[in-house]
A and B are shown apart, each in its own frame.
Chain A
Amino acid sequence: DAGVIQSPRHEVTEMGQEVTLRCKPISGHNSLFWYRQTMMRGLELLIYFNNNVPIDDSGMPEDRFSAKMPNASFSTLKIQPSEPRDSAVYFCASSLQTSSQYFGPGTRLTVL
C-alpha cells in the first residue's frame, strides 16, 4: 500500500519565484495536513483539510502561501513570491477520521 507521496523531494529556487509543492494522500484517508519544519520553529501546522475542505489555515504564514485540495487524492501548497525565509522542509500528512497521521517524505525547499 503506497504511503503519502510528495513531489518534488528537493526544490531550489531563487527569491521571487513561484514554488508549488504537491501531495497525494493515502487512498481512503479523508484528512490532509501540511506542516513545515525549521530549526528555529520546529514542526508547525500550516493548514489542514477535511473531506477536501480547508478547516484551519491559521498557520499559513501570510498571503504568499496558498493551498488547495481539488479532490480527495491531490493537494498543492503554493508560495508566490518565495523568500529565503521560506526555506524549510515541508511535510504532507494524511489520516482517516481521528486516527494516526502518516507523513510523506517531505520536500526540502531552498530559496536563494
Chain B
Amino acid sequence: AQTVTQSQPEMSVQEAETVTLSCTYDTSENNYYLFWYKQPPSRQMILVIRQEAYKQQNATENRFSVNFQKAAKSFSLKISDSQLGDTAMYFCAFMTHRGSQGNLIFGKGTKLSVKP
C-alpha cells in the first residue's frame, strides 16, 4: 500500500523569503503522479503543482517548484518570495498511474505561516 509522510506539522517563514516543505512516499509502483495541494483557512483545496514520475525535470509553477528525487521517494515543495496569502495547510498527495483512474493518497499536511 502507498503511504505519504509529511514530517513537518508546522512551519513558519518571513514574507519574501524562501521555504521548503518536505514529503516522502512509499510505493512499489514505477509510474505515478505526485501533487501538492494548498488549503487556506477558507478550506478550499487548491492544486498547486503536479509532477509525473516519468519526468526527470522538476515541475515549476511561478513561485512554486518541486525537488523530485524518485530514487529517494522524496517530493519537496519550494515556495520562493513567500507572500502572506501563502499561509495555509499544504498537503502532499500520491496517485498511482495504474488503471484508468486513481484516488489521491494524502499526507497529514504541513501548516505554513507566513509572517509579515
Contacts and interface: CB of A to CB of B under 8 A. Distances in A.
Interface of A: 31, 33, 35, 42-45, 48, 50, 55-56, 59, 89, 91, 93, 95, 97-98, 100-103, 105-106, 108
Interface of B: 33, 35, 37, 42-47, 50, 91, 95, 97, 100-104, 106-109
A106 to B, nearest CB: 6
**Interface of chain B, helix or strand or loop or mixed?**
loop
A61 B108 CA distance: 20
Contacts of B45: 91, 93, 103, 106
**Interface of chain A, helix or strand or loop or mixed?**
strand
15 contacts: A35-B104, A42-B106, A43-B104, A44-B106, A45-B103, A45-B104, A50-B100, A50-B101, A98-B102, A100-B50, A102-B47, A105-B42, A105-B44, A106-B43, A106-B45
Contacts of B108: 42
Nearest to A59: B103
